[in-house]
């Protein structure tokens, strides 16, 4: 029994890797174990991860493999065989609507007239499917080379055939699931089988009707459609496991996974379809409302946090700006204090040097002559009207006269001696000369002290 179960799992693993293209057996096995070896949900998650980077679809746990049924033409029997071989979907709401169409007497008469033709076509189709089923087994279709092209071609063909712009999503199935998940909307999936007898009527009377369009808009439902004869349609068909056409499946986000909550297999008239979709929406929409509320609350919380962070950053920047200005003011104050200190130090240095120079000049004054016969008598008037009087020998240099004035306590800056008549500056040369006699100022001379202004 254990060996048989292991063989079944190896077969599922081989099918899974063949379809998804995954070569890592351990990774493939872990994904299958996550889904209880349910092939459909595992494949769907792998496809979703490849297309969107996230797992989005979930199916219920796989049921034990039943014994294969004997060959039969019945579509219903074939659908049971297919579903049993791949696992049931107990949590899906299955709404089968075959034979529910209301017909007029003319349509009823034409139906009987063409019944043999339809029977032959249906039988050939069923036999072909049965032969493929027997010889190929449950082989999952490989990834579509260009899923978007398959969908776009189906939409264009539908518009040409039925002259209607049905609001199908122009995206791959995986992207459609991702959009429904992101926007928290219902996704209605339509699988188109052009060869089925009820398909044209269903497309014309239901999908292409204005009432159906308005219903989708009112209920905010996304609509995805694809032809089952395309690669993308074959993949979606294998995942959803429809058994009759026309086929619709209602999908929504439940928890963290996309889940099928309703299936319509066979022709369903528009009033009945809308009524049943309303029932499914009424039952399942509270979950989406809760998710929307939670998401809105998270968005609101994030917005509040962003606003708080922005306010904090603004406050922080304002504080930093205040601190910067305060630091600049303090720096300017320190620099000013430093300049003031340096100025005071320089002034003190200059004052001390000035005092030393005064003392030096006072000490080098020549002795005053004793006799008045040869002496020259100088009267010097200071800017503060103080008078200095002293006698010098005719041979004394002019520098001595300057030393006399410089050493006086009231002189605190540089100066020059000026005579009054004629008015001229009396200036020393480099060696301190000339001699006082050479100035020809007479025996008694009046000079004025004039401070240098430059």
Rounded alpha-carbon distances, angstroms, from residue 79 to 84, 120, 195, 203, 238: 8, 20, 18, 23, 12
* Secondary structure letter of residue 28 according to DSSP: H
* Secondary structure letter of residue 416 according to DSSP: E
298 alpha carbon, distance to own chain's centre: 17
The rounded distance, in Å, linking the Cα atoms of 286 and 274 is 19
Find the helix or strand (DSSP H, E) in which 213 lies: helix 210-219
In CATH terms, 2-268 corresponds, of 3.40.190.10, 3.40.50.920, 3.40.30.10, 3.30.470.10, to: 3.40.30.10
Rounded alpha-carbon distances, angstroms, from residue 441 to 179, 222, 436, 445, 450: 114, 120, 8, 6, 18
Mean pLDDT (10-residue bins), the chain, 454 residues: 71 74 81 81 71 50 36 34 33 41 53 60 55 49 76 94 90 93 95 92 94 95 95 91 92 89 93 95 92 90 93 93 94 94 90 85 86 83 87 88 85 82 81 82 86 73
* Secondary structure letter of residue 169 according to DSSP: -
All structural domains of the chain with their residue ranges? 2-268, 376-451
CB-based contact 273:100 (threshold 8 Å): no
Q: What is the pLDDT of residues 354-411, one digit of tens each?
A: 888 888 888 888 988 887 778 888 898 888 888 888 888 888 888 888 888 888 888 8
The rounded distance, in Å, linking the Cα atoms of 229 and 51 is 21
The rounded distance, in Å, linking the Cα atoms of 38 and 418 is 120
User: For residue 442, how many C-alpha atoms fall within 13 Å in the half-sphere facing its CB?
Assistant: 9
Helices H / strands E in the chain, number of each: 13, 10
State whether CATH 3.40.50.1860 applies to domain 376-451: no
Write down the pLDDT at residue 412: 75
Write down the pLDDT at residue 134: 52
Alpha-carbon torsion (143, 145, 151, 156), positive or negative = negative
Q: Give the SS3 label for residue 269.
A: coil
Residues 6+ apart with CB under 8 A from 445: 376, 377, 378, 379, 419, 439
């Amino acid at each position: 029994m254990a060996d048989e179960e292991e063989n079944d799992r190896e077969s599922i693993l081989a099918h899974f890797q063949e379809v998804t293209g995954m070569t890592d057996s351990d990774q493939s096995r872990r994904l299958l174990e996550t889904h209880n070896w349910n092939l459909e949900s595992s494949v769907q998650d792998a496809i979703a991860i490849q297309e969107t980077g996230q797992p989005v679809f979930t199916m219920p746990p796989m049921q034990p493999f039943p014994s294969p049924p004997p060959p039969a033409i019945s579509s219903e029997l074939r659908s049971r065989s297919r579903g049993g071989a791949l696992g049931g979907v107990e949590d899906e709401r299955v709404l089968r609507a075959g034979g529910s169409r209301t017909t007029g007497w003319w349509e009823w008469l034409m139906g009987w007239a063409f019944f043999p033709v339809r029977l032959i076509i249906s039988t050939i189709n069923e036999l072909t499917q049965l032969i493929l089923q027997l010889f190929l087994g449950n082989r999952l279709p490989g990834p579509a080379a260009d899923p978007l092209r398959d969908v776009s071609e189906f939409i264009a063909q539908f518009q040409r055939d039925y002259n209607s712009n049905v609001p199908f999503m122009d995206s791959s199935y995986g992207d459609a699931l991702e959009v429904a998940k992101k926007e928290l909307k219902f996704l209605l999936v339509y699988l188109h089988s052009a060869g089925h007898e009820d398909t044209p009527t269903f497309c014309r009377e239901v999908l292409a009707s204005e009432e159906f369009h308005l219903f989708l808009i009112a209920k905010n439902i996304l609509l995805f459609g694809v032809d089952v004869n395309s690669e993308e349609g074959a993949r979606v068909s294998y995942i959803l496991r429809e058994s009759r056409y026309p086929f619709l499946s209602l999908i929504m986000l439940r928890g963290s996974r996309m889940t099928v909550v309703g299936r319509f297999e066979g022709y369903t008239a528009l009033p009945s379809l809308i009524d049943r979709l309303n029932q499914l929406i009424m039952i399942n929409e509270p979950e989406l409302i809760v998710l929307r509320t939670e998401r809105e609350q998270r968005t609101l919380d994030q917005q509040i946090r962003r606003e708080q962070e922005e306010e904090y950053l603004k406050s922080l920047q304002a504080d930093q700006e205040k601190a910067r200005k305060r630091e600049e003011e303090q720096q300017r104050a320190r620099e000013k204090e430093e300049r003031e200190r340096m100025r005071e130090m320089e002034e003190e240095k200059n004052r001390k040097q000035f005092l030393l120079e005064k003392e030096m000049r006072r000490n080098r004054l020549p002795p005053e002559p004793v006799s008045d016969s040869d002496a020259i008598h100088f009267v010097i008037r200071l800017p503060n009207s103080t008078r200095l009087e002293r006698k010098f020998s005719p041979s004394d240099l002019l520098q001595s006269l300057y030393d006399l004035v410089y050493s006086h306590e009231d002189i605190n800056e540089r100066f020059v001696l000026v005579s009054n008549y004629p008015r001229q500056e009396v200036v020393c040369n480099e060696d301190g000369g000339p001699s006082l006699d050479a100035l020809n100022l007479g025996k008694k001379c009046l000079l004025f002290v004039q401070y240098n202004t430059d």
